[in-house]
Amino acid sequence: MSMYIVSSHEIKQLAEALRASYDVYGPQVDPQTQQVFFDQLGDVEALNLEAPIPSMPVKEILFPQMERVLQYKYDAEAQSVEMSKPYAERPKVLFGLRPCDLSGILVLDRFFLGQEFVDDVYLTHRRQCLLISNTCLNPFPQCFCVCTHSGPDADEGFDLDLTKLKDGYLVRVGSEKGQAIADERNWKPAQPHHLSEHKAVVDRCIDLFPEMATDNKAWVSRVMNRITTGFIKSETWEYIGDQCFECGACSFVCPTCSCFNVEDSRMCDGECERLRTHDSCSFEGYARMAGDHNPRQPVEDRRNKRFFCKLSYPQSKKYLRPGCVGCGRCQWVCPGDIGLPNVVQYIRREITE
């Protein structure tokens, strides 16, 4: 793997150069609210690689909250139907992905592309996508990627990976696509001491994690074991269920949640459009079956489904990693107090009591 050492100015130049042939997305800070979004860049100057973790996961770009996936018009007399694809392929650069969001994309890839059926909508958004990750130099509140093997630095899946060091950014190349970009540019090769500096930066970041996160590291795997073997008491799930407000927020902000709902709606002129929207296992209607049977009607039965998905061994086998990437967003948005790290704590309490 080639490595380069690149100045901040050259990073901006790279982003600017990529804008010629790609839509460039990157972390930006909203001036009014100081909230960080991973949004399309109107101007490279807005790219802020030191901004905290984006408030919404990057999956919004590849698998948006709501998307038109089909348009059709049925002519009843001629018995013919016209169909069109309202989504289009656009080359994209995701510039400055946090490693947790990168891991999230890898999970979504395995869900949408790596199984029996390949999802054409996701594939269209994903196909010409350049992934540039960015090592976290310090953890943000609620982060716990050290527990889920998804940070603070990336180890797979990127085309280029950036780490801010003293001399500039260490650029690691992770793919042929990434190498081709590096080859076009006159970047200085990195020295061996840069690599050890990279390791020191990552180690320092891990040290900075709050005790709750580092301490939980062993517990996440212990809880996975418990969840997989079904040893968790129903009282614990009820305690968690009582705190669920059924808003669905945890699923919407989760970088790996891939559940969706499909609905056709008729426009005024007889044309129909098919919408795909995010869905959440916390909703009662989500698990309803034909014939009105609902195997997961009580809220606690729905709520624990989420944690089976994030923290059980069979599910991890499917994604080749835990379903949780440790970004902590579910903890931010939950009006109850049942973000994933807390649930691990509750189960831990049960184990240790």
Partner 1 sequence: MKLMNYKACVCNLCGTGCGQFLKTDGRKVFGVAPLIAHPVSKGKLCIRGWHANELLSTNERITTPLIRENGQLREASYEEAIALVVERMRQFDGAAGEIGILASARSSNEDSFALGRLAREVFGTTVRGIGAEAGHRKSMASLEHAFGYPGAHGSLTSIDKADYILVIGTDITRQNPVIGGNIHAAQRRGARVVTLSSSRTQIAKLSTKHFQQKPGTKGLLVNALAKALLAIRTANRERRANVDQMPGHTEYVASLRSISSVALERASGIRYEEIEEEAKFLEQAKSIVFLFSSGISGLDRPTIDAITNLALLTDRMDHEHSAVIPVAGISNLQGGFDMGVSGEPGNSVFKALAEPDSPIRALFVIDHDDGIIRDKERISKLDFVAYSCAYRNAFMDLAHVVFPLPAYNETDGTYTAADKRVQITRKNVDNPHGVLPGWALFQRLAVASGKAWGYQDAAGVFADIAAKVPGYADLSHELLGKGFGQHWNPKAFPNSRQRKFNAINIEYWESPTTPEFPFALMIGKAQHYWHQNNLMRKTIVPRREYDQTLWLYPQGYIEISPEDAANLKVRDKWLVNVCSSTGTCMKIAVKISPDVQNGTAYIPYFIKNMISDFLIPYENAYAAGEESVIPIKIQEA
Give me the residues that bind partner 1 (CB under 8 A), please: 28, 30-35, 37, 39-43, 45-46, 55-56, 60, 64-67, 242-243, 245-249, 252, 261, 263, 265-268, 275, 277, 279, 283-285, 288, 292, 294, 332-337
Q: How far is the CB of 97 from partner 1 (least distance, A)?
A: 17
192 cis-preceded (ω within 30 degrees of 0): no
Residue (63 or 209) nearer to partner 1, CB: 63
Q: How many Cβ atoms sit within 10 Å of the Cβ of residue 61? A: 20
Spatial separation of the C-alpha atoms in residues 5 and 352, rounded to whole Å: 48
Residue (2 or 277) nearer to partner 1, CB: 277
Burial 145-164 (b: 16+ CB within 10 A, else e): bbbbbbbbbbeebbbbbbbb
What would the DSSP string read from start to end of 333-352? Answer: H-SSS--HHHHHHHHHHHHH
**C-alpha dihedral over 279, 285, 287, 292, to 10 degrees?**
-150
Q: How far is the CB of 33 from partner 1 (least distance, A)?
A: 5
3 state SS of 289: coil
Residue (87 or 114) nearer to partner 1, CB: 87
Nearest 5°: phi and psi at 6?
-130, 140
Give which of 134, 168, 138 is closest to 153, Cα–Cα: 134
Q: How many Cβ atoms sit within 10 Å of the Cβ of residue 39? A: 16
Lookup: tokens for 178: 């990434």
Q: How far is the CB of 287 from partner 1 (least distance, A)?
A: 10
Residue (41 or 224) nearer to partner 1, CB: 41
Q: How far is the CB of 245 from partner 1 (least distance, A)?
A: 5
Residue (53 or 171) nearer to partner 1, CB: 53
Q: How far is the CB of 37 from partner 1 (least distance, A)?
A: 5
Residue (33 or 80) nearer to partner 1, CB: 33
Residue (141 or 189) nearer to partner 1, CB: 141
Q: How far is the CB of 32 from partner 1 (least distance, A)?
A: 6
Residue (24 or 182) nearer to partner 1, CB: 24
Spatial separation of the C-alpha atoms in residues 95 and 234, rounded to whole Å: 44
Residue (183 or 284) nearer to partner 1, CB: 284
Q: How far is the CB of 325 from partner 1 (least distance, A)?
A: 19
Question: Where do the H-state alpha helices sit in 19-175?
Answer: 59-62, 99-112, 120-127
* Residue 195 CB contacts under 8 Å (≥ 6 apart), including other chains: 3, 170
Q: How far is the CB of 1 from partner 1 (least distance, A)?
A: 34
Q: How far apart, in Å, are the Cα atoms of 321 and each of 45, 112, 135, 214?
A: 35, 15, 19, 19
Q: How far is the CB of 125 from partner 1 (least distance, A)?
A: 13
Lookup: tokens for 107: 């999970």
Question: Helix-strand-coil percent breakdown of the chain, rounded to 5?
Answer: 40, 20, 40
